[in-house]
Structure 1
Amino acid sequence: MGLVFGVAQVGELVENAMQVTRAKVRSHPASGQIALVAIDDRSIADFGPLPWRGDMLAELVDAVDAAKPRRIFIDADFATLGTDRQATALARALRGASANVLLPTRFTVNPVTGAKTDHAPPAIFSGSGTPVNTNLFVWWDDAIWKHPYAVNVGGRLVPSLSSELADVRHPAPDLFPVDYGIDIRSIPWFSASDILNGRVSAADLTGKSIVIGRTDNAVERFRVPGLRPVPGVMFHLIGAETLREGEPINAGWIAPLIAAMLFAAAVLKLRRRWLATALFGFTAIGLLAGPVWLEMQHIRVEVVPALMALTVAGVARIVRSMRRAYRLRGTTNLITGMPNLQALRQNRLYNGMVVAARVKNHAQITATLPPQQEKELVEQIVGRLEFGSGGATIYQADEGVFVWLAAEGSEDGITQQLEGLQALFRSPIVVAGRLIDLSVTFGLDLDGSRTLAQRASSALVAADEAARDGKRWATFNPASVEDADWAMSLLARLDHAIDNGELWVAYQPQFDGQTKALIGAEALVRWTHPEKGQIYPDQFIGPAEQGGRIERLTYFVLDKALAVAGNVNRGGRHFTIAVNLSVPLLSSDKLVPTVERLLHKHKLAPELLTLEVTETSTLGSAEIQIANLEALSALGVQLSIDDYGTGFSTLEYLRRIPASEIKIDRSFISMLNKSQSDRIMVNSTIQLAHSLGRKVVAEGVENEEILQELQQMGCDIMQGYHLGRPMPWQDLLSRISEGEAFRAA
């Protein structure tokens, strides 16, 4: 396995992550002897858009050279210098510079033909400076992990900019690993605008190697491992800083693997477990921490193959120990020596009754008993069970569970046995002079068609049900298996329901609180199962959120609702539609594009859609979620805080969410005419919302008295059974066509 990981580089992702971690541990500032003069967005704003022509760049070179730097490199596209006069101005400035000048050369590769094309400065720059290569080697993950010493360009070996800046001469076009232990953010840089305007002290540049390059927002960027992407020119500087500290030695993965295999062999051979564990830990720590010290000596190693070899040895040792322990345990309980459930499973099908006994307070009792007294406790329990079950073999499981096979007979006969056992356990057990009361319940399984392992579990389920219901025993009901099967396959059934039209959308009308006009509706999902009938939303929406199916369910409702709203509004009405939005969905990068696509599909203006976010839910990935909410608001979609008043962060939600309305929870509205505190709360909420420029929706308007109270308080929008129950879209269209206002539903 170590060889596979080394030769095939299977663990490259892990190796890279470890390198990033080690770099952060060794983090230290750059030398400060190499600085960047950045043609940034401020420089472009001050001195004109890119590309800068030759005369402009010449002015920048002159300004930098006036500070007496050691070297000057200008990372410019010499094909965009403008007129011959402008290009000549730059050539003249470079030839006249007192600093050593470095000129960029590079090559490009045609992605279709593979043809290589060399790019060098025009002939007028001949003699203006030393050519250096500026190619970057970008890995598959868009990061720069290694950098060249030199590159073949135009038939000759050209040193890289990094090598030249570090005064390193290498005879071959090899790559060296970039040391990101040097903090790339510590490299000094200056805006070209400040240089040209004389706002930079000459002392900041004197004697340093100066690289002039673009850092504006439009320039190509690459990923610094462990950090954000940065402009390409920065990698030449960090490469130079790496070489300044010492040429890195790449020791590879073979040496660590050989060392790890020697230690792994010892881990497998040592007989004492503690000694093997200590050696394993020592080796693992060495493989993890050792490279930090080696990298401080400029030696790079790859340790994932070695770690894999050591891990395989450790796992093999654990598996061997587990097999030995399993054989030791076999079919008996290690503490009591009694047969366990593994012994029960070795029996064939049994047509008689399976009985399980559960000692409900077993954990509380054994928590205070040493192992020897626990054995004595179990022996006394088993003695009573054997006596009350007619001498049947008792199988001991964990957590105070005992199972036996009842002799064939009637259910009445076994219940009489259980009555007798209950009587036996009314007397306390004496363990080491202590009186211990036991609480025992029993469960029966009568279904002889299943395996003993299944039947033992079923009998235990029945015993737990008896304990929950306050009974002394219970018989397992096979119908509960069907219910369990339904619960386990709920999400798959939900997908099937969407595909087969079992899910549909009901619409609850919403009315203007002042004009009484029917102005919109809330879309509510419904599930009508062909066998189980109506399935309530709280039975499948929660599991859909937890099981990752809420996205499809929400978009199904949104699609149907927008289709209805689009149909209504094409008739010339101003009709809004509200759809509930699950908080987990707010973290999806598909949310905003999907909403925008569906609005366009159904030709509905964004301001006619309201997305309701439940206030009782907490925002998890707050930045992503708030960004999505702000994007929806910018799109024109209205946002509403649903179930307002039931959460723990009401004012926080009002501050953070760009909502245009709040929806007061029905629990406050339904008691409006009976509770003075609810009346005060609702009224103050309406006034607060209005002062913040938000509308208020009241849900749960159940009678005329509540309706009138809300009107007096100035509530903007109302909905509830008194005004209209959730209904199919055909019924909604009928009510819209009647143009009716408030009426009792």
Structure 2
Amino acid sequence: MGDKRTSNFVGTVLGRQRALFGGRLFERLRHVLWAGLISLAMFAVLLFEPVDQFLWLIQSRIADRSPSGDIVFVASDEALNDPDMPQRRYDVAAALDELDRRGVGKVFLDVTFAQSEDTRADQRLSRSIADLGPRITLVDRIVVASNGRSLVRETEPSIAGSVFRVVSDQTDRNWFGLAWELQYSYDVAGKLTPSLGAAIGGIRGANGQKFSVDYGFSQTRIPVLPIEHLFENKYRLSDGLTDVTGKTVILGHSNRVTGTQQPIPGRMDAPASFVDIYAGETLKSGRTQHIRGPIVLAFHALLLSLVVVFGGARRRRWPAYSGIVLLAPAVLFAAAKLGVRLDLSYALGFLGIYGAMRSRMRWKRRVEMVNSETGLPKLRALEARLLRETISNGHVVIAKIQNYERVLKTLRTEDKSSYVLKLVDRLRAADPNLVVYSDGHHLGWYVASDDTDDVTDHLEGLRAIFAAPVEVGGFSVDVGITFGIASIDGDPAARLAAAVAAAEETSEAHNPIAIAETGSQSDLLWDISLRARIDEAMEVGEIYCVYQPKIDLGSKTTVGVEALVRWHDPARGFISPMHFIQQCEKAGRMEHLTRYVLQSACSAGQLLHFRGQNLTMSVNISATLLGDMRIAGIVRNALQATRFDPQFLVLEITETSRISDHSVASSILEELKSTGVKISMDDFGVGSASYEAFYELPFDEIKIDRLFVSNMAKDPKARAIVASIAAMGREARITVVAEGLENPQDIGLLEAIGCQQVQGFAFSRPVSLSNLLESKDIDGMRAAANMV
């Protein structure tokens, strides 16, 4: 019981993995991953940092917070430290004395003084500094010298005495000249010196450790006191001036002093001291948080991934996409109000890159929906229109151009599109605005009328128009055209497929107009062939692979497995593989299904090898795909994606009688063999071209069709055919596999005949991957025979 629960659990997990990594969902997740990696690469090279700094400017304007009021800026509109104007040092001394008298809490003298020619002025300033004692701190400034190097400006020791010093680094700016981050302390001449901003805020930190400066405090609310009000005895609280008692005062130059301007958000010519004042206000308020780009990017990537995984339908995904995009300004606004700096640009870039990838993919699909030769939309576009506009009435008409391929062979390349367009012009005889869709020898359109008889009468009139030949390239070409009709009720896309099926059943002589019956078996088979339904089934794991073991008769061991595709529809139950594979071919989705099965089978094979079971993996390839080299690319991509050893992959070519050009097929198979895979001929012995294909194509293995294997015990002719094929295989030095072995008593016959490998219910039914992983030997295969 426990083993069964484990098996079910493994099967469920594998089913979810198939759904997660298949079709459109995998495509969208792949775009999420690539967009994230590109954004991280941009973060590594700081590509979007200017955008982030612009967003920080916006945050600073949004915040508009009130400062603490404990930090007062005493500003001078004249240069206080000009050596040629020593009398101003008396003004500074008087201002310091007045601050002392007013009971100032702390003073930061943000002006550096060199010695002047007036010794008494220097001494007067020195006494005022000394009188403030530990309440005053001198500020040294690190500036850029004329040679481009850093230069430290400091007050002469003869003036400063033993007063404590801090440093303000004016070189610690970005390329816009803004100071978004400052250090708690700086290494000045080998001595660790606190920064002015950190000293104002009363916070100490390790050397080199940085903190963000919050410019969200309103500039107009920062207390500013002209220095004249202090040394000219104009300082009266009754006049509304700022009280400095117990507060922190920064005495420095205003922005009117040449060379002291410093840009800050919202003001390009602020006093240099304002940067440190904002730093102090930031530390006092504790708003130093800075959420870096990778964290914000990861958050948006997670949200987008959740939308992609759980937003199956577009009508759910698009509102969610819009919500994520609108979330960005909302987060920016909230962070500004909370005083948290946010690196949002890389998340915005991530969303933009993802959007560009999805737009490009949608553009490619739109291009794929247009016939490149005629410029007409394909039948896929009609299907998409029916679904998009939720059309539930009217009819779908499909016109089949008879002898289409034969006519195209006789026309010049430049005349082929003209031929189809002339046919379309005739279809538009009654309605010039009719939208006609083209796909191969089919032309389709939508009719709004619900009256089937009216539609049929109209088509009879069209047939009369087509009785006259078409002039193309100077030649007169006869036209044969028949029609399939399906009324739209229920699933419109299903009715389109039913109309195509009806058109295929028509003939010019006996049945020129066929009407698809609602709920008919033909309708059902075409319904399951729809591209959208097949893609969705692969996404959610309804289409999956089971695996039937191949047994070596000599060693009685499992040497390989064959991947067989299955479809379990929740509404209809199990759908015959013969039916839905046939409909895949007619709907042009065989290549997509083959890619999906190859990916699943190679992944399963790699997992088997990882578990120590070095089995070959056989995958069926429709002979219809041997018309061009795309199948070689599909196989190569599947091997690269799964890292499965190509020597263990066997491609079984089905229905070789459908190969139209053996020379082309041979070159394609040789290209496939160059990758290391082996080629098998499936169902050998049936089909008129089997021996011709066996002779001309490079097969490494042939599989005797079950028709002969299942009857060889009771029919001497069947036994003789199996024996001759086995002998032929030995002579050609290729592996012979007997498939469809259902009776264990027939094993001895096959051994006597000399068949190397067998496959069938006598050993095992097709089993799920989870059961296959649990089976260790041939006995395990027999035990697993009834598991699927």
TM range (shorter): 0.3 to 0.5
Q: TM-score, normalised by structure 1?
A: 0.44
Greater length-normalized contact order (CA 8 Å, ≥ 6 residues apart): 2
Structure number with bigger Rg = 2
Q: TM-score, normalised by structure 2?
A: 0.42
